Each structure stands twice: as C-alpha cells, then as structure tokens.
Amino acid sequence: MSEEKNMMENTVDINDVSANPVVEEVDPNILSVNLMCGMTLDFDAASMDWGDIYSRINEIDDNIMTFKSMVNDIIRPVDISEDDRNNRAETIFASGYEFLKNSGIDNISYDVRPNITIIEKALLVCMDNILILEALIHHARIVATMNVDTSSLIDSMIDRLTDSVDLDGVVKDAVDFAKQNPMNLDESDEETDDVEVDA
C-alpha cells in the first residue's frame, strides 16, 4: 500500500516543458566541425570562397585519400618494429599538423591526456584533417546546389505543360539543363541521353 502511495505522489506533469532539451539556434554563416581531439572548429562560412572550394573538390578528395593512406601506414603493417612504427607516426603527425597550420588552423593541441602516444596523436590529426576536408566538400556542394538558377528550366517545363503535355520534351529540357549545369554530386559518369518516357 505504501509503495502505491509513493508512486502516486511522484506523478509527472506531461505538460511540463522544463525537462525538454534546449535546441540551440544554428547560425547559417558558421560551419562547425567537431574534431576527434575534442575541439570544435567554427569557420566563418559567409567569408569563404565556396566557388573556389567547389572547383577544387577533386584536389581536396586527393588530400583526404592521402590522410586515409597515412592512417593505413600506421595501423596495418605487421612486419615493422615498434620503433619503426613510432618513427612513421612521428613523421605523419608532423605532416598532418603542418597541413592544419598551412590551412590557418594553428590552435589545436593533441596532448589530450598525459602519456598519449605519438601513434595516437598521428591518428587523431589524420582523422581531424579528414573531418575538416569532408565538411568543406559537403558545404561547397550545398552552396553550389543553392546557387543553380533553375528558372529557365522551370519556365520551359511550364510552357510545355500548359501548351500540351509533352513529357518527352520536358525530360529533354531537364537532361539538357543537367548537362549545361553539372553538379558533380555523383561520382559515376552515367550517360543520361537514353532517357525515355512513355507518354
């Protein structure tokens, strides 16, 4: 009986919003990247040349692959001594940290705990570089998508649909528009010339 009384005294007001998580407002002009070392980098997205970054996506992708291969060079080899692995990690950490500094990021510490090993620091700096570069590519693609002027395509589609339902023509307009405004959002190079629509 006392247990039942205790349960009744601890009722919860379902209309009480004080326990709800606070949703922080996101600033669209700030690009935040949470790093593996525990820091969060905030980039001033409004001041960055996203067109230039977008045009260099292939180069940035190559850098990402380089850092991935560095991680592989530290982790995978089984036929090297611990001294060789540590020396390799030292070189990789220096390269990764220098890359951050050359990108204007020089306030990051990788001494995240006492006695952290050089191998751990090298892995962290490589992963942080990968996170930063992937965030830049992702944001550049979003900006490029937002900047595409689709008004001519929409006008053409509306004209065709109001004059007569010409689905073949609508699809042709869309394919032509896509060819003239490539987004490079898909890695595949599939041809779109063979699109057919049954009216």
* Residues 173 and 160 sit within 8 Å (Cβ to Cβ): yes
Q: What is the pLDDT of residues 112-127, one digit of tens each?
A: 999 999 999 999 999 9
Collect all residues with Cβ–Cβ distance below 8 Å to 82 and sequence separation of at least 6. none
Instruction: State the average pLDDT for the chain.
Output: 79
- Considering the domain architecture, whether residues 41 and 65 belong to the same structural domain is answered as yes
- Considering the domain architecture, whether residues 109 and 176 belong to the same structural domain is answered as no
Please report where in the chains the tokens 């036929």 appear, as a residue: 79
pLDDT at 85: 95
Range of 181's domain? 149-199
Question: Chain-centre distance of CA 36, in angstroms?
Answer: 15
Inside any domain, residue 25:
no
- Tell me what the mean pLDDT of segment 129-143 comes to: 94
Inside any domain, residue 15:
no
Inside any domain, residue 161:
yes
- Considering the domain architecture, whether residues 117 and 185 belong to the same structural domain is answered as no
In which band, very low, low, confident or very high, does the pLDDT at 62 lie, cut at 50, 70 and 90?
very high
Please report where in the chains the tokens 């292939």 appear, as a residue: 58
Q: How far apart are CA 53 and CA 67, in angstroms?
A: 18
Please tell me whether residue 34 adopts helix, strand or coil conformation. strand
Residue 199 has pLDDT above 50, yes or no: no
Inside any domain, residue 14:
no
- Note the pTM of the prediction, 2 decimals: 0.64
Least confident of 28-42, 70-84, 152-166: 152-166
Inside any domain, residue 10:
no
The closest alpha carbon to 45, from 26, 67, 61, 62, belongs to 26
* Residues 110 and 100 sit within 8 Å (Cβ to Cβ): no
- Cα three-residue angle 17-21-26, rounded to 5 degrees: 120
- Considering the domain architecture, whether residues 154 and 112 belong to the same structural domain is answered as no
